[in-house]
């Protein structure tokens, strides 16, 4: 049985912050691999600010290099737009794999806006990773009001494959302030440059072949 973490997002672009939280999640949850699901388009974000999928996927592959992370545009291949549909397909296609959904506290703060978010929580366990500036709002969010009863003690985080769903664990790491928004603000044309020249942070790696 493989233990896979799923980190979805726009990766617009991918950066060292994605890499840092993934490295920590790999250890904390005893994962075999993490899949970065590079979204064709986020229904909650302005499409005008989104770089082409090919550029975002290239930045993810570059940032993931050297770690057991697979950057993939599988949602584009599956034709799914919403996380709940993607998870349904992945769980059916990989019956011998156990998946856990990884999200930052910023996403938990707006999780109740996701389509069928309760069904997502009933499909896979969720690990929420602390993010500076978002943790208080996440803990006070509408989604957390429902999820709070399903929170597992942090000391049980490696036992997540045996949890009865819904189940949620809160993971705290050293704060990483990097964000794709700041990168775009500093370099609006990042997606028009070679991947190796995109400023993704000190943890970024050269592009894959």
In a domain, 209, yes or no: no
In a domain, 172, yes or no: yes
Determine the average pLDDT of the residues in 53-57. Answer: 93
Provide the number of structural domains found in the chain. 1
Q: Which of 69, 66, 3 is nearest to 38 (CA)?
A: 69
Q: Where are the alpha helices (DSSP H) in the chain?
A: 16-28, 53-64, 74-78, 83-93, 105-109, 117-123, 135-139, 142-147, 180-186
The reported pLDDT for the residue numbered 176 is 59
State yes or no: pLDDT of 80 exceeds 70.
Answer: yes
> CA-CA distance, 83 to 6, in Å (whole number)?
11
In a domain, 18, yes or no: yes
In a domain, 175, yes or no: yes
Residue 45 confidence class, pLDDT cut points 50, 70, 90: low
Secondary structure (3-state) at 150: helix
Q: Which domain holds residue 95?
A: 2-186
Q: What pTM, to 2 d.p., does this model score?
A: 0.84
Determine the average pLDDT of the residues in 12-31. Answer: 92
> CA-CA distance, 117 to 110, in Å (whole number)?
10
Least confident of 51-60, 62-71, 195-204: 195-204
Residue 41 DSSP one-character state: -
Average pLDDT across the chain, whole number: 85
The reported pLDDT for the residue numbered 198 is 45
In a domain, 195, yes or no: no
- Residues 92-145: pLDDT tens digits? 999 999 999 999 898 999 999 999 999 999 999 999 988 777 778 898 999 999
Residues 6+ apart with CB under 8 A from 35: 4, 5, 6, 7, 69, 70, 71, 72, 74
**CATH code of residue 136:** 3.40.50.620
In a domain, 149, yes or no: yes
- Residues 136-150: pLDDT tens digits? 889 899 999 999 999
Rounded percentage of the chain residues whose pLDDT exceeds 70: 79
In a domain, 200, yes or no: no
In a domain, 93, yes or no: yes
């Amino acid at each position: 049985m493989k233990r896979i973490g799923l980190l979805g997002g726009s990766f617009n672009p991918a950066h060292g912050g994605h890499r840092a939280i993934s490295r920590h999640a790999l250890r904390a949850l005893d994962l075999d691999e993490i899949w970065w699901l590079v979204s064709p388009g986020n229904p909650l974000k302005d499409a005008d600010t989104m770089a082409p999928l090919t550029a975002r996927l290239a930045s993810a592959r570059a940032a993931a290099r050297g770690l057991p992370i697979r950057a993939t545009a599988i949602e584009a291949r599956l034709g799914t737009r919403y996380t709940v549909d993607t998870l349904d397909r992945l769980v059916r296609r990989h019956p011998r794999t156990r998946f856990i959904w990884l999200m930052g506290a910023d996403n938990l703060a707006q999780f109740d806006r996701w389509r069928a978010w309760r069904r997502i929580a009933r499909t896979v366990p969720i690990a929420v990773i602390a993010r500076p500036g978002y943790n208080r709002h996440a803990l006070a969010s509408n989604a957390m009001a429902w999820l709070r009863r399903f929170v597992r003690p942090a000391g049980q985080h490696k036992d997540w494959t045996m949890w009865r769903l819904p189940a949620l664990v809160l993971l705290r790491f050293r704060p990483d302030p990097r964000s794709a928004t700041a990168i775009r603000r500093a370099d609006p044309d990042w997606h028009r440059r070679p991947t190796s020249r995109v400023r993704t942070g000190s943890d970024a790696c050269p592009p894959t072949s």
